[in-house]
Structure 1
Amino acid sequence: MPQKQSENEIKIKEEDSSLAEFTKRTVPSNYELQKFDEVVEEEFKKNGEPEEKFDINVDSEQDEKIEASLNEIYDDGNGGKVDVKRLDKVKRRGIIYKFFMLVVGLGIIGGFGYGAYYLYQHLGSDVTALDFKIEAETEVMSGEEFFYTISYKNGSNVNFNNAKIEVNFPENFIFLDSAPLSQIEKNNVWEVGTIAAGHSGQLKIKGFLAGPKGKVGIIIANATYNPENISSEFRKEATLTTTIKNIGLNINFDYTESSLAGEVNDIDVRFSKQEKSFINSFRIIFEPQDNIQVMSGDEIKLNNKASSTIIRPGIWQIDQISDEELVLPIRFKFTNKKSPSQEIILRFEQAIGEDKFYQFLEQKINYEVMKNDLNLIFIINGSRNDQGVNFGEALNCSVVYKNKGETEMTDVVIMAVLESDFLNWSTLRDDKKGREKGNTITWSKEEIPELAVIKQNQEGTIDFSVRLMDIDKINLNNSKDFQVKSYAQFTIGSKDSAGKKTGSEENRSNTVINKINSDLKIDEQVRYFNDDNISVGNGPLPFQVGQKTSLKVYWTLTNNLHELNDAKVEVKLPEHVTWDNKNRTNVGTVNYDSSLNLVTWNIGRLPVSVFRADAEFNISVTPGDNDQNKIMILMPGSKATAVDSATGATLEKTTAAKTTKLEDDDIAQRNNDGIVR
């Protein structure tokens, strides 16, 4: 039977605890805790447990910690304790509140959407969205007509009002027409007005550029406009660069680079039209200088002399230009010597209208001006001017002397100086037997009796020749100047005694510089077997009437000294030889023109770093009845050409003809004598 408990005893519920049960109880008081300790102590005593082992009294310090933790847990934030018996319940908001908040949210979203739509409709998607550009040819000939096309498009959703296009043309652009027409006399402003949203337009300007090759013209166009409902002005800019790629004329100059003061000189201006040319007339201006007298040149007779009008001394108007070369001779003289070297400038101008001219070419010619009593002229290989020469080539030299003074000259000594490390002096040929020493040949009255006394206006010529070394005798890796610098000079006994310095500029001739051309070489082989004894041809060998034999042609170019330009190799195949394709090259391209039966290997630029270039292709031949018992020509000889970038000379090399004997194929020659069976 269960024992009855007193009121002060602690009641322990045997059911499982829960949060609901916990919240029903208040925080135990100190009295209740003390009674709980006493009950526990009594129970230990009844069970015979030692009191000291189960002492659960807590010291004062630990009591304080426990009490502080409980106070912190049940603190209500206002200095009191939370009544855990009472829970405050918050009611959930109803459906009306939710509907109200939904309406408010949709209203805010709709407001933003309407604002964006308003801006889109009234301000446009982008008030700067004007697509503005210029289109035209980037390269044109001088004088060639072309169009600038200026396009614009309104990429926004509002109108662009007060639109205007203003163009700054290149200084050398000649305006001819436009569509639509400009509203001002300068033809560079167009009032476009309103450009509707999404609409586009175009402006076309016709004209041409005048000027020299390489002249650049930059066009700048500006578009201004006001977007609808906006007072600010907006601007867009577009630019385009066009370059003059050529003048359309072939113009060359023939002249001597040295002159004696008071001596008449001629400059021959040679000109002709190129295949594509737009300059139909021009004028030449000889830039005046105070010590130069320009003459008319009317007395000069030439078969291809150009028809010209002398506007005034030093200005010639040319109105006739043809595909055939014409020559305008310009005659002048230096009245006195201002300096050892003097520059002459010729300007070529194209007339635009009546009083406007554009320069399309300027030629500067440097003259060596001499002033002495004995006029000396040094000529090499028929020219007083610089020119290229080849290794192993003979230099045929002439020293022409003439007494231009007022009295006779006595005891004259003439010297020819040839400065070069590449002359083979053992090949010197001199009928006058001059003394050669240290790159100098000297003649006095002992070798040439006429030099004892040279009377006024008396003249004479000394001829000699010397060869350049062969290339296989030269170390090309040696960093020397590959050239020959030549001039003549004189001394006179009476002038030497007066202290005249031997070798000064006053007693020298013109100087000729012969730069040595690059050592371009071409090797051509026609073979049935290659170097590895592998067949690269097919068909019968020896050649048989009515049967096709195919062969391989090998071209090899080598070059050492200078870079080459416009390099190419050409051969016109005989009528009985057929192009058989299978071409290959490591530089450039190999092309075949069937209308001419012409094979061309176009190389173009060949730098020094490319020592060797190779090409190959196939040909075939089918001998006819008339070819029986004959040796047939397969390759008539190929020609390699190039322009030496250092000397300016056009190099040309040719190969020997190749036949059915297959001269370069040792294996094929074992059972082939070249005679068609």
Structure 2
Amino acid sequence: MSKKAKKKNHKKHSSSQLTEKKNFHLEGIHEIFSHKDRADESSSELKDDTNIIADIINEERDKRKWRIILFASIFLSICAIAAIAGLLYFNAYNPFAEENIILNIDGPDKTKVGEEITYTIDYQNTGEVSIHNTKLIINEPHGFNLISSIPEISGHSFDLGTIEAREKGSVEITGEFLDNLETTQVLSTTIIFMPNNFNSEFSITSKFYTVLEPLPITIQPNAPPTTTVDQDTSLEFAITNNGLKPYKNFRLLLNFPPNFTVGHSSTDYFTDDNQIYWEIENIEPDQEIIIDLIGRFNSNFDYFIDQNQEQSFKISTALVNTDNENIIQEEQEFTINITAEPINLSLIANGQNITGTIDFEDNVNISISFDNKSEDTINNLSLDLIIASQPIEILDWNNLDDDYFGQLEKTDAGTKLTWNFNNVEVLESLRSGEKDNINIIIPILPLDDINYNQISSLENVTLHAFANLYYNDNPDPIKSNSVELNVNSNVQLDIEAKYYNSDGSAIGQGPIPPLAEETTSYYLTFNLSNELHELKDITIKSTLPPKVFWTDDYDVSVGQVKYTPGDRTITWSINRLPVSAKSANLTLKLDLKPSNNDVGKLMKLLEYSNLSVTDIITNDTISQTYGIITTNLESDRFGIGKGIIQESFSPFQ
């Protein structure tokens, strides 16, 4: 074979090998890629399996979360239902409410200083739950002095212990007030307790207000309107108990000018600077105590100076508290004028030497005194008394009581009554240091004797009185002080006890005459009449005697009625009574239950009654006291004489 052919064949063989190698490489690459594709497929399948597992896990987690939420919801619902059920059960079987505990105070709205009173404090558990560790705390009023209590108080509280459901009770505290009248008196009580099945304390507070009134003790100073220096000057003080009870341990105080020297007194006194005082141990109802005092004005000051001519005094009543302090009740001021006249002339009208009041049914009592302060005898005295009644005449001069028969004369200034030395022995001469007086009594006309057309003029009627004394033919008289009296309204209280009506029909119940150990009911009527002036602050107080019982059965036309069990007092209060009302009425029923020890006796249905009113025109407090009412029934024409207690009839006797 030629070289050329060999060369050609060699090229062919090389080319074939190259092609095979290429094919081999291509197949290897394809196989590699084939394996890669299979690996990718396996990887994809693995990824898909992993995602499925993750999805399953997530789904299980969601299911578990919702199961937990569902379980928690069910558990909380069960707890809530149990709590509500427990609450409903507790409320059903332990229905405690704070408003079920009631605390009330009963006592007097008004009381007089130094007068014993009782407060009743009622407590009640109206609920179904008992309360424990109960304590009643008493915060006493500012001026209250505790005397006793029921039950006995421990410090300022009562230990009440356990108060069962529907249980009630009360405590009482008794005491008196010794405090200034303007101080507000508040009794505050607080009940502290712990309800059953509770671990916390509750408290309820109640308050009661009491207004203080002064003692019903009046003082009336009697002093000469004029005097001279270095001469004995006589003062008189009348103390009267207008109340229904005795009063103890109070003082009468006198403040006097610095130039006045106190001398002798009818009762021992104590001195404190420009004040003296007397200790009054006791004064009974309607009792009057008179204290006389003699003093004199010193001559070491210029009494011709105007401001020195009128000297002021002040007389007061006071209670004494535990700190020995004076609790002033009533004060009155009066003056004495220093004069250089040889005769002191003074006029007193119904105990007054300046102004005062007089009740319509009273008499006018005039006392004119004349005192020779000079060193000479004074002769030929003549005395005039002038009384003016304005705007109409209300004095009954026809029934004048005058031992010296003075001469009456109508003048422009009023009615003049004159006495002179020609027919009155005490006016012939008045020696040095001698003192004398003339006294008269003038009745007031009955209202029925006053012209009906003039009744309206009585609203502002006043009496004005003064005296003039002439001596030794001196044309210039010595003038007395002048006194003005305002006439109070004609208020009147009538109290009657009845068993029968006016036609004889019975309105009472029970046996009459009353029988021992049996109850008889009577009707008492209070009729308050008034025609002249408007009245305010009207109070009528009556006290029930033993064995007479308040029934709470009454009928009143105006005002409020209150019964205080502590002191067994009935109080009828009226704020205002105009003239147009003319009257007010109260009818009440009282029960009497006598005992066998009362057989053969009359019994009291009512103790003394006290009326207190303020006259708006005169601004005077009118006080009147009325007697006891008995089973004798003086105002019942069918029941009179049927009041003696009889022995009770028994069918087994």
Q: TM-score by structure 1 length?
A: 0.48
Task: Tell me which protein shows more helix as a share of its residues.
Answer: 2
Report the TM-score, using the length of structure 2 for normalisation.
Answer: 0.49
